[in-house]
Amino acid sequence: MEFWRTPLDADRVREPQADVHIIEDHCKGCEFCVEYCPRDVLAMADHFNRKGYHPPKVVKVGECLHCNLCERICPEYAIFTIEVPAVLPAAALPAASMAGS
């Protein structure tokens, strides 16, 4: 994300990220998840699932913000996200937490 200035806590705060998981055989190809994703992480696949629909696929790995909009909007519950744990650089950790090491 581009800012017009750098936030003061940019070195300590990380945007949440998630892995997107798609249950292809539940999908009916409505494209709601693709259309409403704020980061355009998803696109429709070229192949068909067992029901004869084109399921979504992840095209931007690592770009998901874990907003859960795709989960909420999917009428078939065919997509979900799992948050990736935040890993901050050692320089961003408070001095008190590093004193014990």
Show the tokens assigned to 36: 């409403």
Contact (Cβ atoms closer than 8 angstroms) between residue 39 and residue 17: no
| Helical H segments across the chain, by residue range | 32-36, 69-73, 95-99
Q: Which pLDDT score, from 0 to 100, does residue 25 have?
A: 94
Q: Which pLDDT score, from 0 to 100, does residue 13 have?
A: 78
Q: Where are the beta strands (DSSP E) in the chain?
A: 17-22, 42-44, 56-58, 79-84
CATH topology of domain 17-84: Alpha-Beta Plaits (3.30.70)
**Residue 4, phi-psi category: left (phi > 0), alpha (psi -120 to 50), beta (remainder):** alpha
Q: pLDDT per residue over 10-63, tens digit each?
A: 788 788 889 999 999 999 999 999 999 999 999 999 999 999 999 999 999 989
Domain boundaries, the chain: 17-84
